[in-house]
Chain A
Amino acid sequence: MTTSMSGIFLGLFRRDVRLAWSQGGTGTMALSFFLIAVTLFPFGVGPEPQVLARIAPGVIWVVALLACLISLDRMYQADFEDGSLDDLALSPLGLTGVVAAKTLAHWVSTVLPLVVASPLLGMLMNLPANGYGTLLLSLLLGTPALSLIGSVGAALTVSVRRGGVLLSLLVLPLYVPTLIFAVGAVDASVGLIDPAQPLALLAAVTLAALVVGPFASAAALRLSLE
């Protein structure tokens, strides 16, 4: 019997993407929240095009961040509740690999749809035309950090009943650097300044999260198995 690590990784990735988009999954929930919450802003702030254009990058990023957050608490909790987490821990892939596959699945199934929908919301928020490219790029570069950092928080709160609030207290402060650099980049390109510097810093945050995230999540999950 041969064990194929890439087979396990891909199998787990596909399983999670499927579950996220099946009945009761988080994929549809996060996307609908994103669309509805951003739509509320023109009603709340008023329809002045200049005001909307000024706050557009910040609103889109903050709501994307919150949409990601509401999907996080189910990331490991569903597996914890039905006992699959025990099976995941006994996979030859190891808990770090399992976490990496699940985090990638979370990003692809739940966060990537937000990235794809963001230009539509940019139009709704009257985002200036030269901001769209950077908005997409900043989301592509920055949102993997949301999944990676969020995975650590989700793993830490997996055994906590109603851990959603605790999870947001843990995770939201860690999202601040991503938010600052991402909105800085979009604002820069709207103001016709080269956004390369904030984008590079944004990518650096994501890379750091990539290095630390899977190991920290695996350690936190092992703690929760006890």
Chain B
Amino acid sequence: MVFENLSFKLPPGGLLFLRGRNGTGKSTLLRLVAGFVPARDGSLSYDGEEWDRGDAALAEAILYAGHDNALKPVMTLRENAQELARLMTGNPVADERLEQAAEVFSLTGLLDQPVRYFSSGQRHRSSLLRFAFISRPLWLMDEPTVGLDTENRRALADLMKAHLASGGSILAATHDPIGVEGEVLDLGAYQPAPIEDFDEEAWV
């Protein structure tokens, strides 16, 4: 068991930071909300409705960026972005919108480069790029600031503020201050007792 007796609410326009030492289950909670991992017990609801794992309506509300960058090395950044847009909406994204998004993370010059030549910082920014050109209400961000310099961190903060202002919600697992106001949920407080008692319930 990773955590138990955990309960939280994320209103529209709300930002919740997940804190806690390594191994306290920040990533697991994000993957659980995304529907990748089943909960042993407990429930999730979205927009007043119970939220099942693998629900199509649920999947359509979420945009997730995890530890891996989900980029194909043989394709250029533009192709990667277009494939992602097509996968999420069925339509390619307009070139202007993609170029605007690339400007946010100073990736304009890299759009037509194959991703295999990118540095790890550039890959990470390319992975964050999705938040700038795909519109979905709930963002799940796993360590979004790792490897970002001050300038890009500010760009990310602005992007997150704009998303919150438009009524979107963000769940972010991070150690670093990003510069956006939000509530904090410390997962360290919900660790199960050292002796595992399988009759206990984990509320999520």
Render A74-94 as a binary contact track against B, CB cut-off 8 A, 1 for contact: 000000011110111111111
Which residues of B sit under 8 angstroms from A11, Cβ to Cβ?
83, 86-87, 90
Within 8 A of B (CB), among A86-120: 86-95
Q: Determine whether the beta carbon of B64 is less than 8 Å from that of A92.
A: no
| A1-B53 Cα distance, complex, nearest whole Å | 24
Q: Which residues of B contact A91 (CB under 8 A)?
A: 59, 87-88
Cross-chain contact A83 with B69 (CB below 8 angstroms): yes
Point out residues on A near B: beta carbons under 8 Å: 1-8, 11-12, 15, 19, 22-24, 81-84, 86-95, 222, 225-226
Q: Is there an interface contact between B62 and A90, defined as CB atoms closer than 8 Å?
A: yes
Q: List 17 A-B contacts (CB under 8 A).
A: A1-B89, A7-B90, A11-B86, A12-B86, A19-B75, A83-B69, A84-B70, A86-B36, A86-B64, A87-B88, A89-B36, A89-B59, A90-B34, A90-B88, A91-B87, A222-B53, A226-B37
Query: Chain B nearest CB: distance from A155 CB in Å?
Result: 14
Whether B86 and A92, one on each chain, are in contact in the complex, defined by CB atoms closer than 8 angstroms, is no
Choose one: A5, A24, A92; the contact of B59 (CB below 8 Å).
A92
Task: Tell me if B1 is interfacial: C-beta within 8 Å of chain A.
Answer: no
- Using A4-B90, A23-B74, A84-B72 as known contacts, say yes or no to A95 and B54 having CB atoms under 8 A apart: yes
Q: Is A7 touching B34 in the complex (CB atoms < 8 A)? A: no
Instruction: List 6 tightest A-B contacts by C-beta distance, closest first.
Output: A83-B68, A7-B90, A4-B90, A11-B86, A83-B70, A225-B36
CB-CB under 8 A from A93, the residues of chain B are 87
Q: Does B35 contact A (CB under 8 A)?
A: yes
Query: Across the two chains, which residue of chain A brings its CB closest to B70?
Result: A83
Chain B interface residues (CB < 8 Å from chain A): 31, 34-38, 53-54, 56, 59-60, 62-64, 66-75, 83-84, 86-91, 135
CA distance A209 to B12 in the complex (A): 44
Q: What is the count of residue pairs linking A and B with beta-carbon distances less than 8 angstroms?
A: 98
Question: Which of the listed residues B83, B84, B135 has the most CB atoms from chain A within 10 Å of its own CB?
Answer: B83
Q: Contact at B54–A222, with CB atoms within 8 Å?
A: yes
From residue B149, how far is it (CB to closest CB) to chain A in Å? 23
Cβ contact within 8 Å between B90 and A90: no
Contacts of A95 in B (CB 8 A): 54
Residue of A with least CB distance to B61: A90
Give every chain B residue within 8 A of A222 (Cβ-Cβ): 53-54
Give the distance to chain B from A21, nearest Cβ to Cβ, in Å.
10
Could you say which residues of chain B place their CB within 8 Å of the CB of A15? 83, 86-87
Q: Which residue of B lies closest to A24 (CB)?
A: B74
Kindly state the separation between the CA atoms of A81 and B88 in the bound complex, as whole angstroms. 20
